[in-house]
Structure 1
């Protein structure tokens, strides 16, 4: 009788061991396949360069059906480019993204003369990006945005010099 009782326990015990030992494997495979792309990879998927966002984006939300997004930085961020363009990012950046266009943008501003104005739209036009502050805008070559600026010092933080940003000298109104 003990022999039959032992055989009845071996099958359920072996199934239980199989489940316990293989479940971490399934869990790790599941985590690898469900990891969402970074905010920078999402930008590239919509035909934008990664340098539109500063380093340090911690997370983001994106509704792919509407394009509504929010990107979360660790805090507010500001830096200068070319010594004349000062940019400021709030800790949360919102808007709508579609192929080659960021619209209804909130949380990014540029200092023009003595005023901070919000950048409300970014549009890719072949090899340039057009930035709109509402009634005016400016175009910049796409390759200016190949790397992400760093909060505090911008693009070239290693040697203390700011990297030059090429601009289109014409500022247009929309």
Structure 2
């Protein structure tokens, strides 16, 4: 003989079914929306993101860009993003960065860490033992990738202003 289901069991089963369907239909968060959860500005990465993954265990991430080459100008500072950018997210910082380079004079140097300086409202980029700080407001807007020639002309335009 079958045991009748109590109404509380039916309600729990229906709630579980609705919860699982809601979870399946929820769109994946945009990587730019995840950055503020780590106290990082949305504009640290360009808009041209093809895909990304974020580890739940150690917060390491991999971002794949849809366009290459990818150059972005942040208030006179040229930045190059490889097709693949990796690192490990922490609150207010990114460590173990690979795939991002900044132009210093005539040389491109690899950025290996990024840190938020909340007190001074700056973003600090680490290149080995050296670092450079830029205003955090420059990274509030998500920018698009540009081709190198266009990025160079933007540098020239910014320098002349």
What is the TM-score when the length of structure 1 is the normalising length?
A: 0.67
How far off is 1:123 after superposition? 0.5
Structure 1 residues 161 and 110, CA gap change in structure 2 (3 angstroms): closer
What is the match of residue 150 of structure 2? none
How many residue pairs match? The answer is 134
3-state SS of 1:31 partner: helix
Q: Is the 8 A contact 2:87 2:97 kept in 1?
A: yes
- Aligned counterpart for 1:79 among listed residues 66, 72, 75: 72
Alpha-carbon distance in structure 1 between the residues aligned to 2:88 and 2:19:
36
Quick check: 1:122 aligned with 2:110? no
Q: What do residues 64-112 of structure 1 show as CA deviations (whole Å, max 9, x unaligned)? A: 2211100111132113344x42211011100100111100100000111
Give 5+ residue unaligned stretches, structure 1: 1-24, 154-159, 165-174
Alpha-carbon distance in structure 1 between the residues aligned to 2:114 and 2:40:
10
Give 5+ residue unaligned stretches, structure 2: 1-17, 148-152
3-state SS of 1:51 partner: helix
Quick check: 1:113 aligned with 2:105? yes
3-state SS of 1:147 partner: coil
Larger radius of gyration: 1
Q: Is the 8 A contact 1:59 1:73 kept in 2?
A: yes
Alpha-carbon distance in structure 1 between the residues aligned to 2:44 and 2:29:
16
Quick check: 1:140 aligned with 2:134? yes
What is the TM-score when the length of structure 2 is the normalising length?
A: 0.72
Q: Is the 8 A contact 2:47 2:142 kept in 1?
A: yes
What is the match of residue 36 of structure 1? 28
Instruction: Report which structure shows greater RCO (CA 8 Å, sep ≥6).
Output: 2
Q: Is the 8 A contact 1:75 1:90 kept in 2?
A: no
Runs of 4+ in 1 over 6 A off after TM superposition: 25-28, 160-164
3-state SS of 2:134 partner: strand
Alpha-carbon distance in structure 1 between the residues aligned to 2:100 and 2:131:
14
3-state SS of 1:40 partner: helix
